[in-house]
Amino acid sequence: MIEGALWRRWVFYNIPLILFVFVLLFPFYWMIITTFRPDGELYRPWNAVNYMPFWTNNPTLEHIFYLFEETNFMRWMFNTMFIALVSTVISLFCGVLAGYALARLNFPYAGGLGTAIFITYLVPQTLLFIPLAEIIRNFRLGDTPWSLILTYPTFLIPFCTWLMMGYFKAIPKELEECARIDGASRWKAMVYIVIPVAVPGILSSGIIAFTLSWNEFIYALVFLSSPDQKTVPVGVTSELIRGDVFFWGPLMAGALLGSIPVAIVYSFFVEHYVSGLTGSVKG
Amino acid sequence: MAEVSIRKLNKMFDVTHVVKDVDLEIRDKEFVVLVGPSGCGKTTTLRMVAGLEAITSGQILIDDAVVNEVPPMDRDIAMVFQNYALYPHMSVAGNMAFGLKMRKFAKPEIETRIKRAAAILGIENLLERKPRQLSGGQRQRVALGRAIVRDPKVFLFDEPLSNLDAKLRVQMRVELKKLHERLGTTAIYVTHDQVEAMTLGDRVVVMKDGWVQQVGEPLELYNTPANRFVAGFIGSPAMNFIEATLGESGGAVVAEAPGLRLALPGPLAARARAKAGRAVTIGIRPEDVHVATDSDAPDLCFDATVEVVEQLGSEILLDTRVGSATVVASVEPTMRIRSNDRLRLSLKPERLHLFDSETEAAI
């Protein structure tokens, strides 16, 4: 909290905060209001007498019905959910094991390897999809969920590994040593002591990995082509923008409904999530 | 029933040699304390006994079996860590049960053992709590309980009391001592606190720079330190050291320093005679220095100026200046002394120590 004169608090604290919140929340507001406005209002010119962009007096569910009845939206939701879950599980499994190894097993070049893994995360997807497309084609995985389930981990595993490595390093190594003296093998010490203690860290990387794969666009756009294989971000944008015609109502309804699962995941784990990112382990 | 033998033990971390040729025979039921300043290799030695550090060279034997390559889980030892290392996601009972579960003990047996250990430590009412709901002293007890339930061959303690406040530390020290008397398990205890070492250890091992300086019973270390380091490390307030030169005058061996000329008593003189002319360090403990009276031999007296008077209640510590050296004397609390007073001090000749200034070994 900034102390001092009132104007100071407004200039340095309140006004920036309000602006920030406004910028973050306005798209959501726009999404919601557009979802519930009838087409007649949506396509009304801005200089019309009754032009009213931020509110509607005739809310309607027609866009949502359109989405469910005229498009494969439910199918897209299911695809996205399936792909995001499976690739998150794969990435978490690998990331936890690799992060543990890099943090705790003192093998030669562990530090260098850790950095190398992080660097792979920095390669832009917009370049990586070109060689990956070749690989997907060779394995004949194009237009199947597996094309994404197997390619998402290319950026999720480095990310999870890096996050988990930091988290494991913050866990006192005496915990594990004590377990090993108590009669646990290295593996059992990891399973019974280190991993349960690292749950907040695992949840955080899981949530972020899930969100990243849920929102992923480029790979999904390139590797999937048939309408019933698509994920929500690709499906909504490719099926509801035809040429230069934007179906704003269903588009926004799709965006709104598509963001709900992520919002639920975040709100459900928010406590663990925060303690995971701040890395607090108390003995 | 467990003996621990450490033979020619060495540890290198890359190029740093942290434990050097440590030899130690620990008898069954013995409480041995490793003590020394930080970085002296005491914790590393303990961790090698635990199996948490690889051994560079040498051997560790538990009950005549070489355990160099035996993993920690199979050594049948229990360790109490400085930060307690309680498993934060488990209850107190869960913490104590973990080692037994890993060893596949039957449930009723686990419960009996936990109850017994909890009763010994007075933590029966805490069994369902999580570690974060405990105070420092309680955590310490749980860590001890976790070691006790296992009924191991050897207890290892790595500075277990140093995270406690001063009062609790004294209390837990007494409890540890009682606990050891009751259980009779062989124990190796690492600390940097010489008071803990003196009060807890059946024998004390003083270490410095990876070398063992001296091994002995607490009073043995106190009364006949092997070298200047041990003499200065053991005892509080610390021993006084005065740089001097050995000489002979009229058949007697004397140690001379500015403002000081001491005739060495019989046995010490006999040992020191060969080193006449050499530089030595005189060592005398504060409690062996007193204000001179008529009965003191004049060639054991010297003049001193009081610089600081420290009232401790049970005694008074006088920081005095003798020539260029500082001598601390512990005197009766009834004495009326102020700073800048000039005093004539004397010392107990049989309590005098001499150290070679070059090798620092006791003469």
Encode pLDDT of B41-65 as tens digits. 999 999 999 999 999 999 999 998 9
With an 8 Å Cβ cutoff, is B87 touching chain A?
yes
Fold for the domain defined by B4-233: Rossmann fold (3.40.50)
Do the beta carbons of residue A91 and residue A156 sit within 8 Å?
A: yes
pLDDT at A280 over 70: no
Stretch among A52-61, B3-12, B184-193 having the lowest mean pLDDT: A52-61
Residues in chain A with CB shorter than 8 Å from the CB of B146 are: 178, 182
Substitution target from B79, B149, B158, B190 for chain A, most A beta carbons within 10 A: B79
Stretch among A177-181, A244-248, B239-243, B283-287 having the lowest mean pLDDT: A244-248
- What's the confidence (pLDDT) of residue B247? 85
- Tell me the average pLDDT across B339-352: 88
- What's the confidence (pLDDT) of residue A52? 80
Band (pLDDT 50/70/90 cuts) for residue B300 is confident
- What's the confidence (pLDDT) of residue A98? 94
pLDDT at A149 over 90: yes
Please enumerate in sequence order all residues whose Cβ is within 8 A of that of A36, keeping only pairs 6 or more positions apart, or say none: A56, A59, A60, A61, A63
Query: DSSP letters along A239-271, please?
Result: HSEETTEE-HHHHHHHHHHHHHHHHHHHHHHHH
Question: Within the 42-81 window of chain B, which residues sit less than 8 Å (CB to CB) from chain A?
Answer: 50-52, 71-73, 75, 77-79, 81
Q: A134 — alpha (psi -120 to 50), left (phi > 0) or beta?
A: alpha
- What's the confidence (pLDDT) of residue A277? 59
Q: Which of B52, B84, B102 sits opposite A177 (nearest CB)?
A: B52
Q: Under an 8 A CB cutoff, do B71 and A180 touch?
A: yes
Band (pLDDT 50/70/90 cuts) for residue A278 is low
pLDDT at A253 over 50: yes
- Tell me the average pLDDT across A102-129: 87
Q: Under an 8 A CB cutoff, do A174 and B83 touch?
A: yes
Q: Which of A180, A192, A282 sits opposite B132 (nearest CB)?
A: A282
Residues in chain A with CB shorter than 8 Å from the CB of B73 are: 180-185
Domain boundaries, chain B: 4-233, 240-356
The CATH architecture to which B240-356 belongs is: Beta Barrel (2.40)
- What's the confidence (pLDDT) of residue B108? 93
CA distances from B22 to A70, A105, B11, B219 (A): 82, 28, 10, 22
Nearest chain B Cα distance for residue A196, angstroms: 7
pLDDT at A283 over 50: no
- What's the confidence (pLDDT) of residue A1? 56
- What's the confidence (pLDDT) of residue B233? 92
Longest Cα–Cα distance in chain A: 80
Higher pLDDT, A26 or B259: A26
- What's the confidence (pLDDT) of residue A4? 73
Fold for the domain defined by A72-277: MetI-like fold (1.10.3720)
Do the beta carbons of residue A141 and residue A152 sit within 8 Å?
A: no
Q: Under an 8 A CB cutoff, do B98 and A179 touch?
A: yes
With an 8 Å Cβ cutoff, is B338 touching chain A?
no
Cα A149 to Cα A139: distance, rounded to the nearest angstrom: 13
Substitution target from B87, B91, B113, B130 for chain A, most A beta carbons within 10 A: B87
Domain boundaries, chain A: 8-44+56-60, 72-277
- What's the confidence (pLDDT) of residue A276? 61
Which residue does chain B place closest to A198, by CA atoms? B89
Q: Which of B50, B75, B87 sits opposite A193 (nearest CB)?
A: B87
Strand partners, B206: B35, B214
- Tell me the average pLDDT across A255-261: 90
Work out the mean pLDDT of chain A and round it to a whole number: 88
- What's the confidence (pLDDT) of residue B203? 94
With an 8 Å Cβ cutoff, is B99 touching chain A?
yes
Which residue does chain A place closest to B152, by CA atoms? A182
- What's the confidence (pLDDT) of residue B273? 81
Which residue does chain B place closest to A185, by CA atoms? B73
Band (pLDDT 50/70/90 cuts) for residue A282 is very low
User: How much is the ipTM here?
Assistant: 0.83
Cα B99 to Cα A177: distance, rounded to the nearest angstrom: 12
pLDDT at B206 over 90: yes
